[in-house]
Amino acid sequence: MDVSRFVEILDEEGRLLAEAAEKAGPDAEVPTCPEWRVRDLVRHTGVVHRWAAAFVADGHVPPRPMGEPPELDGPELLAWYREGHRGLVGTLSGAAPDMECFTFLPGSPSALAFWSRRQAHETAVHRFDAESARGGAPAPVATDFAVDGIDELLRGFHALRRSRVRTEAPRVLRVRATDADAVWTVRLSPEPPVTTRDADGDAECELAGPAEQLYLALWNRLPVPTTSGDPALATLWRDASAVI
């Protein structure tokens, strides 16, 4: 997937998030994030959008913290969110392909590719959160985008030192999208997981399902569609994989 496709998805997902949040109302509980109400979700996503856009716009290379959300609520909060979302889409659309700035996951071909991809997935998952608060059927996630998001999670976030998905002895977990040519082998140990895009060797547990459902399940938004093998490894993923 290229930068333009990620930016297109980010644009659509961000608008859907705002529409769902508006219909749900700021006080609505977010079932997929039990500690949040809709206002918390909108504030968080709005801050992340501005944080990401500033790295790209400024060409800022060192890391820096996110800002604090404004003390806004209701229509004013949604207007603030929409302004930041439009700003992020515009910044990414207008950036030079070879621009350089801070990134924090391995494997991206460029800083622009990293931020376009990361913010598309960030916003898609939180759009699902907003729709869970609104109720009704959620918008679909395209299969290729879901596969890419699984890949980012397994080979990006869980390659970092802060991943808590670890085992005392070596173990092997497999993740399989049943509606796409996509399978991952996750080798667990006392160190961060090492994930390869293949089905090499035997696995002790497999998490499988259609890419859309598997994507949301691996981000702990839905149950894993199908689990086989050692249930302890599935439980480990559920309990330890949250990205913090």
pLDDT in tens, 53-90: 999 999 999 999 999 999 999 999 999 999 999 999 99
What are the tens digits of pLDDT across the range 187-238? Answer: 999 999 999 999 999 999 999 999 999 999 999 999 999 999 999 999 999 9
- Evaluate if residue 244 carries a pLDDT over 90: no
Burial of 200 (0-12, 13-18, 19+ CB in 10 A): exposed
Q: What is the pTM of this model?
A: 0.97
Please give the mean pLDDT across all residues of the chain: 97
Distance CA 81, CA 74 (A): 11
Strands, sheet with 194-196, edge to edge from the N-terminal-most edge strand: 194-196, 182-188, 171-177, 205-209, 226-229
Which residues is 184 bridged to in the sheet? 175
DSSP tag of 27: T
Return the structure tokens found at 47. Answer: 């801050």
End-to-end CA distance of the chain: 26
- ∠ CA(122), CA(232), CA(143), 5° rounding? 35
For residue 66, what are the CA distances in angstroms to 55, 62, 146?
Answer: 11, 13, 27
